Amino acid sequence: MSPPANLRADARRNRARVLEAAEAVFAAKGTGASTEEVAKAAGVGVGTVFRHFPTKQSLLEAVFLEHLRAVGDQGRALSESRPPGEAFYDFFTLVVNQASTKNALADALESTGVDPMATASDSAHQLGVLFEQMLRDGQRAGAVRDDIGVAEIKTLLIGLARAAESPVADPEAGSGALSVVLDGLRPHATARAEGERPKR
Amino acid sequence: MSPPANLRADARRNRARVLEAAEAVFAAKGTGASTEEVAKAAGVGVGTVFRHFPTKQSLLEAVFLEHLRAVGDQGRALSESRPPGEAFYDFFTLVVNQASTKNALADALESTGVDPMATASDSAHQLGVLFEQMLRDGQRAGAVRDDIGVAEIKTLLIGLARAAESPVADPEAGSGALSVVLDGLRPHATARAEGERPKR
DNA sequence: AACGATACGGACTGATGACTCCGTTTGTCT
DNA sequence: AGACAAACGGAGTCATCAGTCCGTATCGTT
């Protein structure tokens, strides 16, 4: 999408370098890292970075999209190679384990007043659809409880991903937390049926 | 702790105002909000803000501590007034619903290279202890599964809180996600017992 | 090889925001 | 009331960072 065609060889090379460097730098130092740092890491001048991504925001977006695309690919692969229940749970796990960076990016975008999901509509939407499908399949196969939808799944994913990236949380606890959630997603855990559900 | 005694009346008043304003402003506009905005909201000059909190960081810390204190108080109240299981689940719910701001603060602190929990050691530790106690009581009462500890609880809390604050997540989905987690915490959900636990 | 077009680097600009400084005000004590 | 210390306000300083500009280097084409 963004990568405009007909670029000169060096331009294309530099664009790729910048993207890669940006991903690394943002992952390491947070999205607050300066454009100059990215430029240095990519071995180019700031001018070049801004030519390819006229705004810091657009750079963040590009990195974000890249992530979404990669995650989507992995999901599709999973759903083709495994039975529905497993595919769903594995994908869920995988997304959690990878998503920390993505969340930071989404935050950064959002704080500049852009809706990251709107910006990323194509990939994000595709990802949503993919999730919906895997969820439905999992539910039809009786591996996932029926009373939840994609929205809840997304919320849980975001939450776990954020928790994982949080310096406050014990990294050891991540897998325990994940398994609590996975258990909560299984159908027989319908304990919450009658009235005693916490008020909220 | 921070509030040094022997302050002149106006000083004490202003300090309180600033703290209150800071809480509001940071909650509304994020921790990136400028000190000047806080000052304006408090109806004082920047100088005053900086006199009381010599650093933006220290202001963030103060607000953070305030939150921890408040949450702790509520938890203690709950654990005195209700049976262990309910107290635990209600406290959990309550913390999730309140914690969004706190997480943003923790992030902000952490990004300036401070360990928020170390900074807040006293209150944070107390809160940890409180949680541990409520969890143990809940487990002893058979209301919470045995194979998890405070670390996992904390991780889940952070996650849900962050998910709640995320603009990407559907706000409607928050309670659904919460109930998934609560179900996952209940003892009979021990489906994960044998080998099939997701690889991590 | 030589020439136009495309892309590059990085000094420069403008804006923003944390923090300082000091002349003025306000509280407190006698 | 008078006087002194304790606070106050907010203009000013300094650093940082996004984004521009243009002389220079590189690409691709004939």
Nearest to B192 among A117, A159, A179 (CB): A179
Residue nearest to nucleotide D17 (CA to C1'): A34
Provide, as residue numbers in chain B, all residues whose Cβ is less than 8 Å from the Cβ of A147: 176
**pLDDT range class, residue B193, cuts 50, 70, 90:** very low
CB contact under 8 Å between B169 and A151, yes or no, is yes
CB contact under 8 Å between A182 and B174, yes or no, is no
Q: Which of B53-67, B78-92, B152-166 has the lowest mean pLDDT?
A: B152-166
Provide, as residue numbers in chain A, all residues whose Cβ is less than 8 Å from the Cβ of B185: 180, 184
Nearest to A183 among B103, B115, B184 (CB): B184
Q: Which residue has the higher pLDDT, B72 or B122?
A: B72
CA A150 – CA A154 distance, rounded (Å):
6
The predicted-structure confidence for A72-125, as pLDDT tens digits, reads as follows 999 999 999 999 999 999 999 988 887 766 777 777 766 666 666 666 667 888
**pLDDT range class, residue A15, cuts 50, 70, 90:** very high
Average of per-residue pLDDT across B159-176: 79
CA B200 – CA B52 distance, rounded (Å):
47
CA A175 – CA A162 distance, rounded (Å):
13
Residue A197 has pLDDT above 70, yes or no: no
CB contact under 8 Å between A177 and B183, yes or no, is no
Average of per-residue pLDDT across B72-92: 93
Residues with CB under 7 A from strand D: A 8-10, 32, 34-36, 46-47, 50, 54-57; B 7-8, 10-11, 14-15, 43-48, 50-52
Q: Which of A23-37, A184-198, B39-53, B68-82 has the lowest mean pLDDT?
A: A184-198
pLDDT at B106: 73
Average pLDDT, chain B: 85
Across B43-52, B56-65, B80-89, B165-174, the highest mean pLDDT is recorded for: B43-52
Cβ neighbors of B90 (< 8 A, separation 6 or more) are A198, A199, B78, B82
CB contact under 8 Å between B163 and A158, yes or no, is yes
SS3 A42: helix
A190 DSSP assignment: G
Residue with tokens 């902000």: B108
Q: Which residue intervals of B82-172 are DSSP H helices?
A: 84-98, 100-111, 116-119, 121-140, 150-165
Instruction: Give strand C nucleotides closer than 7 A to any protein Cβ.
Output: 6-12, 16-22, 26-28
Instruction: Say if CB B169 and CB B87 are below 8 A apart.
Output: no
CB contact under 8 Å between B182 and A159, yes or no, is no
pLDDT at B194: 37
Predicted TM-score (pTM) of the model is 0.77
pLDDT at A122: 78
Residue B132 has pLDDT above 70, yes or no: yes
pLDDT at B163: 82
Q: Which residue has the higher pLDDT, A66 or A19?
A: A19
Residue B52 has pLDDT above 90, yes or no: yes
Task: Please give the distance of CA B145 from its chain centroid, rounded to a whole number.
Answer: 23
pLDDT at B124: 81
Residue B33 has pLDDT above 80, yes or no: yes
**Closest CA–CA distance from residue B49 to any residue of chain A (Å):** 25
Q: How far is the CA of B8 from the C1' of D5 (A)?
A: 11
Residue A3 has pLDDT above 80, yes or no: no
Q: Which of A16-25, A107-116, B56-65 has the lowest mean pLDDT?
A: A107-116
Instruction: Say if CB A144 and CB A185 are below 8 A apart.
Output: yes
Residue B25 has pLDDT above 80, yes or no: yes
Nearest to B155 among A32, A177, A190 (CB): A177
Residue B198 has pLDDT above 80, yes or no: no
**pLDDT range class, residue B97, cuts 50, 70, 90:** confident
Which of A190, A182, A186, A90 shows the shortest CA–CA distance to A134?
A90
Q: Which residue intervals of chain A are DSSP H helices?
A: 9-29, 35-42, 46-52, 56-81, 84-98, 100-111, 116-119, 121-140, 150-165, 173-185
pLDDT at A198: 42
Cβ neighbors of B73 (< 8 A, separation 6 or more) are none
**Closest CA–CA distance from residue B198 to any residue of chain A (Å):** 7
Which of B98, B97, B91 shows the shortest CA–CA distance to B75?
B91
**Closest CA–CA distance from residue B4 to any residue of chain A (Å):** 28
